[in-house]
């Protein structure tokens, strides 16, 4: 056996083994994004009782697709590539009244955020109804709602599109009788995430 060749092979094997042993990881405990005001379209109305008020209320649905372009806000290595090495959790979701002074969300009856990839079944990330506790009041009026993620074990990396976008939908119901005139309402949506990535040197070298 050629000792030089054996030595070279051993060094190569050691290097390759090392590339799978050595790693780099990054952890972002919290990144919060407040999107530009979103317009939600009222989709219909129906009479339904509201339990707490014990009075008939006219409910109307609303919804809008909100694309969270995470690749715009986080480095590419945290949003692209295999989801096996990445963890992305929703920490919280918020919606706040926007528009004219005094705007509020007192007419809001429920809100939820779901995530979907392609044609898969949407998964609820967070939801809120009056009295569920996670509210942000300014004075007597409800001006914002903040809800912790209800499914914090869900790895949102599995839902990222190839361009690093998370397709979410914000839906809910409003009391159309108290809603200011119009078929739309505008609110400011905020989301907070936890992100962690761990890659071996071999993965970094191969660009995975």
Partner 1 sequence: MRILPLLLAGLLAAPSLAAGQSATPGAPAATAPAATAPVQAAAPAPPPVEEKRDPQFGLALTLGVADGAVLSFTWSPLWWMMLDAGFAYTLQPGLVVGLEFRPIDFFVAPIIRGEYGYYFPGRTADQIMKWAGVPEAQWPLVGSASYNWFSGLVGIAIGSRRGFTAALEGGIGLISLNVKGGSSTVNGAQVTTEAWKAQSFFPTARISFLYFF
Summarize as ranges the residues that interact with partner 1 (CB under 8 A): 18, 21-36, 69, 72-77, 201
Output phi, psi for 173, to 5 deg.
-130, 155
Q: Which residues contact 205 (CB under 8 A, 6 or more apart)?
A: 19
Least Å distance between CB 195 and partner 1? 9
Q: How many Cβ atoms sit within 10 Å of the Cβ of residue 15?
A: 10
The answer to whether 62 and 174 are in contact (CB under 8 A) is yes
User: d(Cα 158, Cα 173) in Å, to the nearest integer?
Assistant: 28
Nearest to partner 1 of 107, 201 (CB atom):
201
The two structure tokens encoding residue 203: 């993965």
**CA angle centred on 78, ends 76 and 82, rounded to 5°:** 100
Least Å distance between CB 76 and partner 1? 8
Least Å distance between CB 39 and partner 1? 14
Nearest to partner 1 of 8, 26 (CB atom):
26
User: d(Cα 208, Cα 204) in Å, to the nearest integer?
Assistant: 6
Beta bridge partner(s), residue 86:
197
Nearest to partner 1 of 36, 55 (CB atom):
36
Nearest to partner 1 of 18, 148 (CB atom):
18
Nearest to partner 1 of 30, 132 (CB atom):
30
Q: How many Cβ atoms sit within 10 Å of the Cβ of residue 113?
A: 27
């Amino acid at each position: 056996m050629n000792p030089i060749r054996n030595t070279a092979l051993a060094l190569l094997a050691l290097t390759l083994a090392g590339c799978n042993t050595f790693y780099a990881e990054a952890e972002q405990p919290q990144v919060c994004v407040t999107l530009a005001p979103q317009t939600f379209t009222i989709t219909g109305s129906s009479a339904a009782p509201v339990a707490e008020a014990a009075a008939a209320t006219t409910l109307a649905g609303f919804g809008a697709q909100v694309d969270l372009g995470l690749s715009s806000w986080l480095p590419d290595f945290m949003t692209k590539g295999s989801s096996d090495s990445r963890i992305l959790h929703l920490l919280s979701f918020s919606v706040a009244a926007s528009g004219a002074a005094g705007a509020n969300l007192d007419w809001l009856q429920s809100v939820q955020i779901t995530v979907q990839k392609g044609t898969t079944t949407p998964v609820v990330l967070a939801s809120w109804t009056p009295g569920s506790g996670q509210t942000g009041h300014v004075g007597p009026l409800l001006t914002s709602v903040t809800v912790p993620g209800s499914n914090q074990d869900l790895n949102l990396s599995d839902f990222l599109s190839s361009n690093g976008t998370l397709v979410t939908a914000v839906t809910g119901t409003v009391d159309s009788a108290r809603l200011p005139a119009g078929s739309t309402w505008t609110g400011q949506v905020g989301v907070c995430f936890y992100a962690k990535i761990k890659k071996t040197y071999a993965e970094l070298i191969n660009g995975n």
